[in-house]
Chains A and B, each alone.
Chain A
Amino acid sequence: MNLLEYTFQQIINAVSQGSMFALVAVGLSIIFSLLRLTNFAHGDMMMVGAFGTLVMQLAGVPFLLAVLLGIVISALVGIIIERIAYRPVRGAPDVTMLLTSVALTYILENLGILLFTSSPRNFPLPDWLNASFNLADGRISFTSINLLTFGLTLLALLFLAWFVRNTQVGLGMRAAAEDLTASYLVGINVNTVIVVAFVMASSFAGLAGVLWAAQAGVVEPHMGFTPLLKAFVAAIIGGFGSIPGAIIGGFVLGALEVLIQSLPSEWGLGAYRDAIVFTLLIAFLLFRPGGIVGVKQEVKL
């Protein structure tokens, strides 16, 4: 395998990995920008989406429809937790909201354990999704899942970009993220905006959960934890609260992880992948808290 082919293979891996981080990070950023809420329960929406899809499949629903229903279920759970857990503490100190989200994580994960036990379950895939493609006589290979991950992420992000530019609720979402008080004064229905934001964030996470499970082949109640942490890193290095920032951060992080792993193994850096990633996070927090896009501090009245 020559260097060019090797690089191309790693780019495919990086894009696939980055898509997933971006998909989860965008939701974290949207919610943070509106509520100053660091939503730890966001990762569990991945679990909800994946289990939702699994249950639908077991009930005999065809795969694609099952995925769609799984995403709808995550959106519904998002609406429910906003209504019963986050709305009552809206406007409370940031720590209160943070603790609420940590509590929700425990509740959701334990609910998952109660319903599905904590042991991983096989995540069945239709054959066409397991198909792999080979280029250059098999020296470059990728699967349908890689393709699907990138394709669906691209679609989701394009939809989001269209939504926040062209719909009244989307405009309201950006406005409320910039200046909540001013959005009340111009008559934006902030409650609607927040509910729609939860629907979007949770469905994106649900989709990411399905893709994650498809790549791993299994689902389990704690599956959202690691991707959540990674998505946090992505959102923060991109610029916490910014949609473009989360997308950039997601792909940068994906590329970085794949880069670390693709370095010659005698360097021995592969084992320190997570350590390097979190060191980067600390460096950003210390030296560039606004992230790559440079998020400005919020305006206070």
Chain B
Amino acid sequence: MSETLLKIEQLEVNYGAVRALKNVSLEVKSGEVVALLGANGAGKSTTLRAISGLVKAKSGGITYANQNIARLNPTQIVALGVSHSPEGRRVFPGMTVLENLRLGASQRNDKENIQADIDRMFEMFPILSERKTQTAGTLSGGEQQMLALTRALMNRPKMLLLDEPSLGIAPLIVRQIFATLAELKKTGTTILLVEQNVNIALNLADRAYVLRTGEIVLNGSASELRLNSERVAQAYLGGGIETQDSRAA
């Protein structure tokens, strides 16, 4: 088994007086795809935002590639090879597709390879190539999601944090995006995937954690959780799941 790339230990995050995450511990091994499941407001996005340095942990540790990154700023974390494709896509609406992609390479020093990478992104999603001089705000939701994903990939990440890539997108495009993610997985990119769409997430992922009101209430391998869909549903909704019991699973 490969080594641990990301390790979160007893992470606690507060928004003002509201506790968004309590005692969250998880780990992602190199080359793995791990899904973070849960209902709205469970703390999935907060977990990603804590990893990428957008919110600061109140306590707990975040270790990436054997380095404590809990006190680093977002720019430094991107420079370490962690790319975060955020909730709501957040492409730069007034800038062209090409400009968005170039910005994704902000922390790279190998300027000479950037154009080749942009071409690779266009091979991945040819529609983006057709739209390359259009501003991102004029793209459809699915195209914006493709752009958000490829913009994150322009950083040549070792680890990709994806927040709800299927949200508000036509099923056909969702399939196309997840097919691309499956290809990325084969090339060894490590992915931490936040999804509300449990089925599609568990099809791609190796393992999954289920969050509820800021705590991890269930975790296991994807195949196991697929077979126990009622337990996943229960964990979502707040049935009597024993955390201890689920850890043992």
B106–A185 contact, CB under 8 A?
Answer: no
With A and B bound together, what is the CA distance between A185 and B155 in angstroms?
A: 11
Interchain nearest-CB distance for B212 vs A (Å):
23
* CB of B25 closer than 8 Å to a CB of A: no
| Residues in B whose Cβ lies below 8 Å from that of A168 | 102, 106
A-B contact count (CB 8 A): 70
How does the 8 Å CB contact mask read for A176-216 relative to B, with 1 for contact and 0 for none? 00110111111111100000000000000000000000000
Q: If A168-B102, A181-B54, A181-B86 touch, does A186 touch B155 (CB 8 Å cutoff)?
A: yes
* CB of B31 closer than 8 Å to a CB of A: no
* CB of B95 closer than 8 Å to a CB of A: yes
How does the 8 Å CB contact mask read for B95-131 relative to A, with 1 for contact and 0 for none? 1000100111011000000000000000000000000
B92–A188 contact, CB under 8 A?
Answer: no
Q: If A182-B86, A184-B75, A185-B74 touch, does A171 touch B155 (CB 8 Å cutoff)?
A: no
* CB of A37 closer than 8 Å to a CB of B: no
* CB of B93 closer than 8 Å to a CB of A: yes
| Residues in B whose Cβ lies below 8 Å from that of A224 | none
* Interfacial residues of chain A within 248-301, with CB under 8 A of chain B in the complex: 299, 301
A187–B75 contact, CB under 8 A?
Answer: yes
* CB of A219 closer than 8 Å to a CB of B: no
B84–A189 contact, CB under 8 A?
Answer: no
Q: Which secondary structure characterizes the binding site on chain A?
A: helix
Question: Using a Cβ–Cβ cut-off of 8 Å, how many residues does chain B contribute to the interface with A?
Answer: 28
With A and B bound together, what is the CA distance between A185 and B163 in angstroms?
A: 13
Interchain nearest-CB distance for B89 vs A (Å):
9
B92–A174 contact, CB under 8 A?
Answer: yes
With A and B bound together, what is the CA distance between A186 and B52 in angstroms?
A: 10
Q: Closest 9 A-B residue pairs measured CB to CB?
A: A187-B78, A187-B107, A182-B90, A184-B74, A187-B106, A188-B106, A178-B92, A175-B92, A185-B84
Question: Using a Cβ–Cβ cut-off of 8 Å, how many residues does chain A contribute to the interface with B?
Answer: 19
Given known contacts A171-B99, A182-B86, what 10 new A-B pairs fall within 8 Å (CB)?
A178-B92, A178-B93, A178-B95, A181-B90, A185-B52, A185-B83, A185-B86, A187-B79, A187-B155, A188-B103
With A and B bound together, what is the CA distance between A188 and B102 in angstroms?
A: 11
Interface positions of B (Cβ within 8 A of A): 52-54, 73-75, 78-79, 83-84, 86-88, 90-95, 99, 102-104, 106-107, 151-152, 155
A171–B86 contact, CB under 8 A?
Answer: no
What are 12 inter-chain pairs, A to B, with CB distance below 8 A? Answer: A168-B102, A171-B99, A174-B92, A178-B93, A181-B54, A185-B74, A185-B78, A185-B86, A186-B78, A186-B104, A187-B155, A301-B87
With A and B bound together, what is the CA distance between A47 and B244 in angstroms?
A: 69
* CB of A221 closer than 8 Å to a CB of B: no
Contact of A189 among B75, B86, B90, B151 (CB under 8 A): B75
Interchain nearest-CB distance for B226 vs A (Å):
31
* CB of A172 closer than 8 Å to a CB of B: yes
Contact of A185 among B90, B94, B99, B102 (CB under 8 A): B90
Residue of A nearest to B84 (CB): A185
Interchain nearest-CB distance for B158 vs A (Å):
14
B95–A175 contact, CB under 8 A?
Answer: yes
